[in-house]
Amino acid sequence: MKILKAFFDSQRRHFGKGGKFERLHPFFESIESIFFASAQVTEAVPHVRDSLDVKRYMALVIFALLPHLFFGMYNAGYQSQLATGQPLSLIPVVIRGLWIVMPLVIVSYVVGFFWEIIFAVVRKHEISEGLFVSAMLFPLILPPTLPLWQAALGISFGIVIGKEIFGGTGRNFLNPALTGRAFLYFAYPAQNSGDVWTAMGTGSAALIDSFTSATPLAIAAATESGGVEQVLMDKGYTLSKLFFGLYPDSIGASSTFLCIIGGTFLMVIGVASYRIIFGDIIGMLFMGVLLNLFAASTSMPYLSLNPLYHLLIGGSAFGIAYMTTDPVSAPDMNGARWVYGFFIGALTVLIRVFNPAFPEGIMLAILFMNLFAPLLDHIEIKLRLRRRIPNV
Amino acid sequence: MVPVHLKKGYRLRIAGAPSPQSSGLTKPAHVAAVPERIPFVKPRLRVKVNDRVQVGSLLFEDKRNPDIQFLSPGGGKVVKIGLGPRRVIQEIVIELDEEESFRELQAFSESDLEAADGKDIVQAIIEGGLWPLIRMLPFRDWPDPKTTPPYVFVTVGNLEPFHPRPEIFLNGREDLFRFGVKILNRLTDGQVYVGASQRDDVVISEFEDLITHTYRGDYPAHDAGVLLYHTKSAPSDNRTWYIDAQDLLLLAELLQTGRYPTRRTVVLAGSMANQRQHYQTRIGVPLRHLMEDRAEEGDIRCIAGGILTGYTSSKDSFLGIFETGLNLLPAGNEREVLASFQPGFRKPSYSRTFLSAFNRGDFVMNCNIHGGVRACIACNHCPDVCPVDILPQLTYKCILVEAVEESLAHGLLDCVECGLCSYVCPSKIELLDTLRNAKAAYYKEQA
């Protein structure tokens, strides 16, 4: 630490007033403040302040996401090795997974950080830590086969259009990671939907015959007769497989198990709103049950899917735990948060079942409700202010 | 008794509470009036350096209404008039004589009080220089003496860290307190409400007949604004007057003896003080006199008043008329290593993001800001602590876009300026400062 301190102390003059890199001060500050907190003392009352800062707030989200990153590496490697008939022991799988996932993560961070620094320098403010969460979430919801230039383009769109043009973290109304993902989805459908969920080796062994890379969502949407549960079972998607997430899907979003752990952790420490999460789940189950009631023997089998399956398949659990709970793009008010969650859950199921173009509904459901968050807030605030005894 | 239960609010888990022990201090060589720290007042000096003054001589008056006078807390010679930036009058220092002389003012016996005209009592308080001890909500300036309030609140005790405990400053002065409540009864056509903490058994049993409200809950449940917010039934109640119990003792002493009172019970507290307890001393006591030999070595922030709302002072300053505590905290002006990434078993936080959530103890807090300023991330901590159900983060945004009407609709004027919103904010936004300035600006515009 002493060496590090000496290093920062020696470099500070370059970034200070009149230094060579004066304009890059936000960059220097953001790196330094990771190791050494500011010595700034309070100027206005109150004299003491809480130990929690945004840095820790965001770091805790990243902490909760790390298991997803590790699992994502393992899963991506595993599916790749499986598809190409190569050994499935731990080490080769992890090396393969690292090779697939790390470039996406690194591109996401480097490009995201690049934009953040540019905006911080131009606007002369410090770098906000929200970026580190967005840049971690983004690769986790990508297909493992995505070309790196598309990942760079996606995170650029997410950070710049989804966040920075509105003023940066705290002023955005859309979830930046999902904005970037949605952009890729619509701009480059070929690389972002369909058969993209298993990374093959470059030029190595050909696909083995028996392999299918259809995701549970694709199977569910394509089922024409018989129960969806049974079809999934036939294709090897047992309940436990769906729960633990070892199947071809976006990199880090498939494991419902890890989402429960991470989501619970974030709820317990108060970083994620339990109102949104339970709202999501209630909405999802409600719509699932409602569709069950509409289902008849002649209607499509997706309608009669056991509602709990909606929580298991695809990225819904991941979206619920980490995307809907982004406090900035969610409503501020507690009541509005229940409504917001409920509609996200319900819309997810609706989009999944009725729109064959979008197998995964939660991305669009969240972005859609992001747009409605200010309205929900507005309604609740109006109602709440009406109860006050006026004081003017 | 009306019970008021504050469910929000927050008790700061801060180490350095004073013991209930109380002892007298020796007579200081100097005392001072500190006009700088009296809100809203525009002082016009009425003394010069080297003037001789008695206890109760006129020092300065308020330019906004020259009838409102501020009197000398000591007898002797004016030795210094400290001027700050833009010639703000910081302090008027008086070197005390061995034997101080008193200016004689009008005294009232209990029967005089009953018989006297209400206007005469008001006049006596104004001439006695203590009218500003009575404050009017929501702006907390002294009220116009020509008006009468819907009620007067007397608040017994202060839950902010750290202030004197009521059972200590009321000890032996119970009759004076009763006399004070009688004075207030003559000032209003409405009721005099006395609010005390449900936990203060001593106070409650002693003044059972006087106490009308009992509060329960964390800081700032004691505040008149909070008591009013949770009991008011109509907008006309908003302009309620209030006075702190210890200030009421001064008022009572003034009218009972006909002399300007000087006695004050103060606490020395905070983790950098090593003899933390109550002290009997005078109004305007020098901080050095109070903290000498009683503070740790090191970089100290001296706070005149409470830790959440008091004033940063130099050691050469004095306790003003409203300040009943001197809190000493570590300055915290050093860079902490990996501050945001520690488990934090000893890091105080309102949130549950540190292991300190499992630690039931109190923590040493310093004056570091603990993070960089960021935009609001809607963590919702501030509305969760706000004692008067304001949405501080949204009211703050209203103020930033200068939507005055909207900020008022959000209850800006209900704000009791407790400082909890700024305390809990992880984005380190100066919520209290913004809200308070907006309130003051609105007040000045109205006047």
Provide the pLDDT for residue B251: 95
Predicted confidence pLDDT, tens digits, chain A (392 residues): 788 888 888 888 888 888 888 888 888 888 888 888 888 999 998 999 999 999 999 999 999 999 999 999 999 999 988 888 888 889 999 999 999 999 999 999 999 999 999 999 898 888 888 999 999 999 999 999 999 999 999 999 999 999 999 998 889 999 999 999 999 999 998 888 777 788 775 544 455 555 556 788 888 888 877 788 888 888 888 888 899 999 888 998 989 999 999 999 999 999 999 999 999 999 999 999 999 998 887 788 888 888 999 998 888 999 999 999 999 999 999 999 999 999 999 999 999 998 877 878 899 999 999 999 999 999 999 999 999 999 88
For residue B427, being part of any structural domain is answered with yes
Q: Which of residues 308-337 of B touch A (CB under 8 A)?
A: 308-310, 312, 329, 331-337
For residue B440, being part of any structural domain is answered with yes
* Helix residue ranges per DSSP H, chain A: 2-15, 25-35, 54-83, 90-123, 130-140, 148-160, 176-187, 189-192, 216-222, 228-234, 239-244, 256-268, 274-294, 307-312, 316-318, 334-354, 362-386
Give me the amino acid identity at A49: R
Q: State the nearest Cα–Cα gap between A224 and chain B, in angstroms.
A: 45
Share of chain A above pLDDT 90, in %: 58
Please, what is the angle between helix A274-294 and helix A256-268, to 10°?
A: 140
Q: What is d(CA A336, CA B327) in angstroms, rounded to the nearest whole number?
A: 42
pLDDT digit string (tens) for A195-226?
778 877 554 445 555 555 678 888 888 887 77
For residue B416, being part of any structural domain is answered with yes
Please list, in sequence order, all residues whose beta carbon lies within 8 angstroms of the beta carbon of residue B260, skipping any fewer than 6 positions away: B55, B56, B71, B72, B73, B102, B103, B105, B128, B129, B130, B254
- Chain A touched by B171 (CB under 8 Å): no
**Cis peptide preceding B138, ω within 30 of 0:** yes
- Chain A touched by B201 (CB under 8 Å): no
Provide the pLDDT for residue A88: 86
Share of chain B above pLDDT 90, in %: 90
DSSP 3-state of A261: helix
Provide the pLDDT for residue A213: 62
Task: Indicate the pairing of strand B58-62 with strand B65-71.
Answer: antiparallel
Other beta carbons within 10 Å of A292: 13
Nearest in space to B230 (alpha carbons), one of B2, B4, B1, B3: B4
Q: What is the sign, positive or negative, of the torsion defined by CA atoms of B301, B305, B311, B317?
A: negative
Pairwise CB contact (< 8 Å): B349 & A171: no
Q: What is the mean pLDDT of residues B350-379?
A: 93
Provide the pLDDT for residue A203: 47
- Chain B touched by A59 (CB under 8 Å): yes
Pairwise CB contact (< 8 Å): A39 & B335: yes
For residue B122, being part of any structural domain is answered with no
DSSP 3-state of B221: coil
For residue B412, being part of any structural domain is answered with yes
- Chain B touched by A381 (CB under 8 Å): yes
Q: Which residues of A touch B308 (CB under 8 A)?
A: 45-48
- Chain B touched by A270 (CB under 8 Å): yes
Residue B398 belongs to domain spanning: 373-446
Q: What is d(CA B333, CA B351) in angstroms, rounded to the nearest whole number?
A: 23
Provide the pLDDT for residue A206: 53
List phi, psi (to 5°) of A335.
Answer: -65, -45
Q: What is d(CA A160, CA A112) in angstroms, rounded to the nearest whole number?
A: 9
For residue B327, being part of any structural domain is answered with no
Nearest CA in chain A to B352: A269
Q: What is the mean pLDDT of residues B309-330?
A: 94
Provide the pLDDT for residue A81: 87
Share of chain B above pLDDT 70, in %: 100
pLDDT digit string (tens) for B168-192?
999 999 999 999 999 999 998 889 9
For residue B428, being part of any structural domain is answered with yes
Q: What is d(CA A4, CA A1) in angstroms, rounded to the nearest whole number?
A: 5
Per-residue tokens: A28: 């220097």
- Lowest-pLDDT choice from A13-22, B195-204, B207-216, B281-290: A13-22
Provide the pLDDT for residue A207: 55
Best of A4, A30, A56, A264 to disrupt the B interface (most B CBs within 10 Å) is: A56
* Helix residue ranges per DSSP H, B90-188: 110-115, 118-127, 166-169, 174-187
Nearest CA in chain A to B428: A53
Strand partners, B193: B153
Provide the pLDDT for residue B446: 87
Please, what is the angle between helix A334-354 and helix A362-386, to 10°?
A: 150
| Number of folded domains that form chain B | 1
